[in-house]
Amino acid sequence: MKKGFVFDLDGVITDTAKFHYIAWKNLAKSLGILIDETFNETLKGISRMDSLDKILAYGKRENDFTLAEKKSLAQKKNDEYVTLLADLSEKDLLPGVHDFLVQAKERNIPCSIASASKNAPMILEKLGVLAYFGHIVDPETLKKGKPDPEIFIKAAESINVEPKDAVGFEDAQAGIDGIKAAGMYAVGISSTETLQGADLQVASMTELNVDQF
């Protein structure tokens, strides 16, 4: 039996990609850059500043802003994103997530969060599942983002579980790569994309139960 579960947030527990997309699209538009949903896919699991850098490079404007200006642009995007999350609630949990967390709690298996999102605590609170997690890794403390394994190793250690004894759940290829590099068992969650290297892939968490691990 595995001893701990490490969850990505966006795309696994809830799906706020559409809100990230609206906020990035509006910010990019204000800079004369047009992005579409296909481009938005490349931002999944990528940190806020790295996402901005990708957008600026896509619009060939990567040399047009100082670091202070970029921080202000990222803040502007986040302000709109947070406004769009105002109505987020338990109804926005992805299917199967709540049951899985309840089962893990019943079996005393600790859970933690490995998300690139600085908004993770607020989002989990709105979803009503904050109490199920022993720890949320603070992305500010990381030297490298996904696909580097750092965030997953920290998430496992934070709940006193060795990576080899932990299962990681991810919807993005960068996340699966990070979980495998950490030496963990990787569960890919996607109905649209084949996640390379995942030990198991399901379309949704309704297909999973704690005892299978």
Q: Build a one-symbol-per-residue string for 51-70: x at contacts with ligand B16 by CB under 6 A, - elsewhere.
A: x-------------------
Known binding positions for Mg(2+):
8, 10, 170-171
Residue of 25, 28, 33, 44 interacting with ligand B16 (CB under 6 A): 44
Look at residue 37 and give its three-state secondary structure.
helix
Please pick, from the candidates 7, 8, 120, 198, the single residue that binds Mg ion as defined by CB under 5 A: 8
CA distance linking residue 18 with residue 13, whole number of Å = 14
**Nearest approach, Cβ of 60 to ligand B16 (angstroms)?**
21
Q: What value does the CA radius of gyration of the chain take, rounded to a whole number of Å?
A: 17
Among positions 4, 6, 27, 45, the unique one binding ligand B16 when judged by CB under 6 A: 45
Site residues for ligand B16, 83-122, by CB under 6 A, read 115-119
20 by Cβ neighbours in 10 Å (0-12 / 13-18 / 19+) ranks as buried
* Residues 143-182 within binding reach of Mg ion (CB under 5 A): 171-172
Collapsing DSSP to helix, strand or coil, 77 comes out as helix
Nearer to ligand B16, 108 or 191 (CB): 191
Indicate if the alpha-carbon torsion angle 108, 126, 96, 24 is positive or negative: negative
| Annotation says 10 is catalytic | yes
Classify each residue of 180-192 as buried b or exposed e, where b means 16 or more C-beta atoms within 10 Å of its C-beta.
bbbebbbbbbbee
3-state secondary structure of 55: helix
The whole-angstrom separation of Cα 86 and Cα 49 is 23
Site for Mg ion in 26-85 (CB under 5 A): 45
Q: Of 8, 150, 153, 190, which lies in the binding site for ligand B16, with binding defined by CB under 6 A?
A: 8
Residues with active-site annotation: 8, 10
Contact positions toward ligand B16, by CB under 6 A? 8-11, 20, 43-48, 51, 78, 115-119
Contacts with Mg ion, residue ranges (CB under 5 A): 8, 10-11, 45, 171-172
